[in-house]
């Protein structure tokens, strides 16, 4: 069976972990945590990058920094992972879902303004598959209505919008290093910001609401509880594993891009024939080959394709079930306007195997059986 995903390993992870053990500092914010923070600042161009235990926790930190309170509204797409919404629901927000664009599966920037009310506090964008939302338009709307922008860039490390790294354009950004992501340490994430006052407070929030980080820098003579927060700091073992991969991000992403381009080349005839839709990358975007998706005609056809590929030794998967269709989504949010594309497009989308080190022969097998399915139909 060709797996859908295999977590990346670049070869230096074990050596880095051994170094961390030998340093006798395993509880986080040591040498490798700081190394990751610096690497992330270089990659994203942000002034503040803080390693976290997950992207979920980075989003929770962003929600605290947005000063979300009960009754506030937060605008976001419904086609996303539950963490995008949960981070703000935990602070008491009502989620306002808006429709997506069918070409990128990202929030439709043209529908955001209609969803804004006096209660709106923030706009959360999700850069699906590492392809950027239309950030210029979204930034302009946010400035006009004095709203904060949170970028859920879980899938987007190394991706750009008009040359600017994703996660570093809005007020806050969140990255993921889950084992399904391009760069991984099993479970992990990062909080990003360019705004000094938010970076300083984020350090406190990440350290359980204490000014412990400032104490270790010698900025205060003792540390104490000064704000709300939680335990969002990963261990040095996670950081050591991650540091090895961040140092080779270009190698990993270029390998994935070769596979992405090969899929796109070999399956393009199906798109030309009108049998499937393939990813569309706007000219303003440089993506990181996080995933390669195919859109079938409908849910029934997608289910048959998944079953056919599985029967022939290929693991393929669908993705998010729109949040607004779930029980919690209906209770904790509303869908503003017409659900023209979110549900329909989500039911068509299928993800093919794509990971660092995917062999050409394995990819040829995926392509062969995908073509065979449509030739027979």
DSSP string for residues in 204-219 = HHHBTTB-HHHHHTTS
Q: What is the pLDDT along the chain (377 residues), one digit of tens a residue?
A: 999 999 999 999 999 999 999 999 999 899 999 999 999 999 999 999 999 999 999 999 999 999 999 999 999 999 999 999 999 999 999 999 999 999 999 999 999 999 999 999 999 999 999 999 999 999 999 999 999 999 999 999 999 999 999 999 999 999 999 999 999 999 999 999 999 999 999 999 999 999 988 888 888 888 999 999 999 999 999 999 999 999 999 999 999 999 999 999 999 999 999 999 999 999 999 999 999 999 999 999 999 999 999 999 999 999 999 999 999 999 999 999 999 999 999 999 999 999 999 999 999 999 999 999 999 87
Query: At 292, which helix (H) or strand (E)?
Result: strand 292-295
Work out the number of other CB atoms within 10 angstroms of the CB of residue 3.
11
Range list for CATH 3.90.1150.10 in the chain: 250-376
Residue keyed to tokens 């859908």: 4
Q: What dihedral do alpha carbons 80, 113, 193, 49 form, nearest 10°?
A: 20
CATH fold for the domain made of 13-248:
3.40.640
Residue 46: both structure tokens together? 């942000």
Bridge partners (DSSP) listed for residue 277 = 295
**Is this model's pTM higher than 0.95 or not?**
yes
> Residues with Cβ < 8 Å from 315, sequence gap 6 or more?
1, 2, 3, 4, 309, 353
Domain with CATH 3.40.640.10 in the chain: 13-248
What pLDDT is recorded for position 359? Answer: 98
Predicted confidence at residue 80, as pLDDT, reads: 98
Q: Give the C-alpha separation, 43 to 20, whole Å.
A: 23
Helix axis angle, 236-246 to 249-272, nearest 10°:
60
Say which residues have a Cβ less than 8 Å from residue 141's Cβ, sequence separation at least 6.
Answer: 109, 112, 113, 116, 123, 147
Structure confidence at residue 147 (pLDDT): 98
pLDDT of residue 215: 83
Dist CA 128 CA 308 (whole Å): 26
- Residue 119, number of CB atoms within 10 A of its CB: 12
CA count, 13 A, side-chain hemisphere, 255: 17
Predicted pLDDT at 209: 94
Of the CATH numbers 3.10.450.50, 3.90.1150.10, 1.10.1200.10, 1.10.287.110, which one belongs to the domain with range 250-376?
A: 3.90.1150.10
What does the radius of gyration of the chain's CA atoms come to, in whole angstroms? Answer: 21
């Amino acid at each position: 069976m060709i797996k859908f995903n295999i977590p990346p390993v670049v070869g230096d992870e074990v050596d880095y972990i051994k170094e961390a053990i030998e340093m006798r500092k395993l509880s986080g914010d040591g040498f490798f945590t700081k190394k990751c923070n610096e690497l992330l600042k270089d990659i994203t161009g942000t002034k503040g990058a803080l390693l976290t235990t997950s992207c979920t926790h980075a989003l929770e930190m962003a929600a605290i920094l947005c000063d979300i309170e009960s009754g506030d509204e937060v605008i976001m797409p419904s086609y996303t992972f539950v963490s995008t919404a949960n981070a703000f629901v935990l602070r008491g927000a009502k989620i306002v879902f808006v429709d997506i664009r069918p070409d990128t599966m990202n929030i439709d920037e043209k529908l955001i303004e209609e969803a804004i009310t006096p209660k709106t506090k923030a706009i959360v964008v999700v850069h699906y598959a590492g392809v950027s939302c239309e950030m210029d338009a979204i930034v302009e709307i946010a400035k006009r209505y004095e709203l904060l922008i949170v970028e859920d860039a879980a899938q987007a490390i190394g991706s750009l919008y008009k040359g600017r790294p994703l996660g570093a354009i809005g007020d806050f950004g969140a990255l993921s290093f889950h084992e399904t992501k391009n760069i991984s340490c099993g479970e992990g994430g990062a909080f990003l910001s360019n705004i000094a006052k938010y970076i300083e407070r984020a350090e406190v929030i990440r350290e359980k609401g204490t000014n412990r980080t400032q104490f270790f820098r010698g900025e205060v003579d003792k540390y104490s509880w000064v704000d709300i927060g939680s335990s969002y700091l990963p261990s040095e073992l996670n950081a050591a594993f991650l540091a090895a991969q961040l140092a080779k991000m270009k190698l990993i992403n270029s390998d994935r891009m070769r596979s992405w381009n090969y899929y796109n080349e070999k399956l393009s005839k199906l798109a030309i024939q009108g049998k499937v839709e393939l990813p569309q990358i706007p000219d303003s975007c440089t993506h990181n080959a996080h995933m390669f998706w195919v859109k079938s005609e409908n849910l029934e056809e997608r289910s048959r394709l998944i079953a056919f590929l599985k029967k022939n030794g290929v693991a393929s998967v669908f993705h998010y079930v729109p949040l607004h269709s779930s029980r919690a989504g209906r209770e904790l949010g509303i869908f503003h306007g017409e659900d023209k594309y979110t549900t329909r497009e989500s039911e068509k989308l299928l993800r093919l195997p794509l990971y660092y080190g995917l062999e050409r022969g394995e990819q040829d097998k995926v392509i062969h059986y995908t073509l065979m399915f449509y030739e027979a139909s």
